[in-house]
Chain A
Amino acid sequence: MATAQGEVILEVNDLRTYFYTRTSVVKAVDGISFNLRQGETLGIVGESGCGKTITALSLLRLVPKPAGRIVGGEILLHGEDLLQKSEDEMRRVRGQKISMILQDPQTSLNPVFNIGNQLMESLALTHKEGRKNLFQRAVESLRDVNVAAPERRLEDFPHQMSGGMKQRVVGAIAMSLEPDIIIADEPTTALDVTIQLQYLRLLKDIQARTGLAIIFITHDFGVVARMCDRVAVMYAGHIVEHGSVRDLFNDPQHPYTQALMDSVPKLEEKVDRLYSIEGQPPLLWDLPEGCLFAPRCPHARDKCQEYPPTFDIKEGHTADCWRLDPSW
């Protein structure tokens, strides 16, 4: 995969998003940093519940209210901090600058409005023009995501469409305002593998055409290899390793990344359970002191009682693990 060399459009620094429940504080995202260049694809990988979706929703400032709150950090989009923006300003960022395809395309469309209505609603936000023109634009948006006979499809309601079709319509809606960044949260519902691959290829095609930057959320290293330029591995709200796809595949440094790699099935091979790492991720409201992976780590030592700093392995490749400390 070609390494993108566009300018940095998004810079996330020390982002923290916590949930305040009656009895505890859930640190869903706890101090993560990364950046994103124009035209590149960043993968965010990690087990279920490690904070991937909440990271994405934080970028849009759509963390579930009232429990969830962004408590710290910066999200610099073209140098401007999104956390300082008003709700009105944020609304113009959503869809137009950063957009997102949700995890479940099956339920992402409103059941009581037809596709045309939902697509034109978003188009109308930036194109102040008559119904006829909007309709034409909607037809083109559907054509862009390879929907056949788009004119007729616009009249359809979500329940009349197949899963793959809905997914593409959701894609068309997310893409309709030509955002700079799109976040694709990996579909959890098991859509047909070939449909899934078609969909990934479609995203790549659109990216090649528009120079869109993609944040691709997944728990599948096979998809990462296929789709991404760089990868951030998340564990319990932290990015524990970060680097190019090549670096991570050839030279994984964090024991968690290594375990993920070892448990990756061969490409195309269908398995029920993706990971077979021993043990469970920690409870986010009852985090252990020190390295969060320690309870499952085969290398853990006393030193791991303290949270490791981020070590540079080489240009653009970092990991949070004491084993990288020269004194280990």
Chain B
Amino acid sequence: MQRYILRRSAQGLLAIIVISMVVFALARVTGDPTQVLLPDEASEEQILQTQIEWGLDKPLHIQYFVYIKRLTRGDLGNSFKWAGVPASELIAERLPATVQLSAFALLISAAIAFPVGVLVAVKKDTGIDYAGKMVAILGQSAPSFALGLILMWVFAVQLDWFPTSGRGGLSHMVLPGVALGYYNVAALMRLTRSSMLEVLDTEYVKLARIKGVSERRVIWKHCFRNALIVPLTYFGLIGAVLITGSVVTETVFAWPGLGALVIEAILARDFTVVQAVVLLFAFTFILINILVDILYAYIDPRIRYS
């Protein structure tokens, strides 16, 4: 088990390194930051001066090594837009908002998707099952910005139940949380349903019933844990969905998190910040996947002991 974790971590590190290169290269495609740093009428000399100041005059691979060297010391570089403010400071400022929203979205999606997925499997081919299917299809076909706008229009503008935007108490979190989590609900629910149906048909479930175990226990003890294995592997993807979703949702709801920050940074060609945030996203994504694998091994002894 320890060796397994170690191996997964090494793979993760390798992935981070590759991603850092890609991100570094891509960030530079967004344009020249000196245009943002300096007024339009700046002279050649001023531009050169600024480039030297920021190390932009050196060849790309040298820039990359400087970047990595600083990274290993925990230095993510300074922002161009918010002149001189370290990217790490900007991230630290915005991170709690994103973590809060993602955790809330994840919580509501798991809390809805798992029980409903089990229910529609147990009630296969009944009205409940069909209703669940409808909701799932709608969920997976609606883009999250559209869903966000619809939610905002109905529940904030028309009904005035929730605020339209910004960060505050729980009421601020509901609409962006639902917009962000909804896609996951649909996907998780369908996965739970199909994997539950498979498990319900197994011999060991028959044996549990033959023993005289109550139906509730058959479902929640014998089936659920086995049925969880498939949707859990999907949890790694959920990380990605939440991250990409947060960019859109935070922008729609003016939620002051990392997603909104990265958009602002991209618009300002502030590639230190873009790089830093995207790298953090990648790191989170990989970390989630490793955690999922460990959880997976915990649930399924066949993995744990091999």
Contacts and interface: CB of A to CB of B under 8 A. Distances in A.
Whether chain B is bound by chain A comes out as yes
Interface of A: 60, 62, 66, 87, 91-96, 99-100, 102-104, 107-112, 114, 121-122, 125, 157, 159-160, 170, 173-174, 176-177
6 contacts: A66-B125, A100-B210, A110-B222, A122-B212, A157-B305, A177-B212
A91 B302 CA distance: 31
Nearest to A95: B212
Contact of A109 (B207, B210, B215): B207
Contacts of B225: 112
Interface in B269-306: 299-302, 305
Given A112-B226, A121-B213, A170 B207 contact: yes
Contact of B210 (A92, A103, A157, A174): A174
B212 A91 contact: yes
A106 to B, nearest CB: 8
B226 A110 contact: yes
Contact of B203 (A66, A93, A102, A176): A102
Contacts of A157: 301-302, 305
Contacts of A96: 212
Given A62-B206, A173-B207, A177-B211, A159 B302 contact: yes
Contacts of B202: 107
Interface string B157-181: 0000000000000000000000000
Contacts of A87: 215
B212 to A, nearest CB: 4
A173 B299 CA distance: 23
Nearest to A96: B212
A105 to B, nearest CB: 8
B29 to A, nearest CB: 48
B150 to A, nearest CB: 37
Given A112-B299, A122-B213, A159-B302, A102 B206 contact: yes
A125 B209 CA distance: 12
Q: Which 7 A-B pairs have the closest CB atoms?
A: A95-B212, A94-B212, A122-B211, A110-B204, A107-B203, A157-B301, A95-B211
Nearest to B215: A87
Contacts of B62: none
Interface of B: 124-125, 202-204, 206-215, 222, 225-226, 299-302, 305
A101 to B, nearest CB: 9
B207 A102 contact: yes
A80 B69 CA distance: 82
Nearest to B299: A112
Contacts of A160: 305
A114 B225 CA distance: 13
B207 A108 contact: yes
Contacts of B222: 110
A112 B211 contact: no
A112 B212 contact: no
B300 A111 contact: yes
Among B125, B207, B301, B305, the most chain A Cβ lie within 10 Å of the Cβ of B207
A125 B204 contact: no
Contacts of A112: 225-226, 299-301
A246 to B, nearest CB: 32
A319 B213 CA distance: 39
B204 A107 contact: yes
Contacts of B206: 62, 102, 108
Among B211, B213, B225, the most chain A Cβ lie within 10 Å of the Cβ of B211
B301 A111 contact: yes
Contacts of B211: 94-95, 99, 121-122, 125, 173-174, 176-177
A211 B302 CA distance: 38
A111 B302 contact: yes
A159 B303 CA distance: 10
Contacts of B299: 112
Given A91-B214, A159-B301, A160-B305, 5 more contacts: A87-B215, A94-B211, A96-B212, A107-B203, A157-B301
B213 A125 contact: yes
A111 B203 contact: no
B122 to A, nearest CB: 10
Nearest to A99: B210
A79 to B, nearest CB: 21
A108 B209 contact: no
A185 to B, nearest CB: 10
A94 B305 CA distance: 33
A125 B202 CA distance: 22
Nearest to A125: B212
Nearest to B209: A62
B280 to A, nearest CB: 35
Nearest to B306: A159
Contacts of A95: 210-212
Contacts of B302: 111, 157, 159
Contacts of A108: 203-204, 206-207
Nearest to A121: B213
Nearest to A126: B212
B127 to A, nearest CB: 13
Nearest to A112: B225
Contacts of B226: 110-112
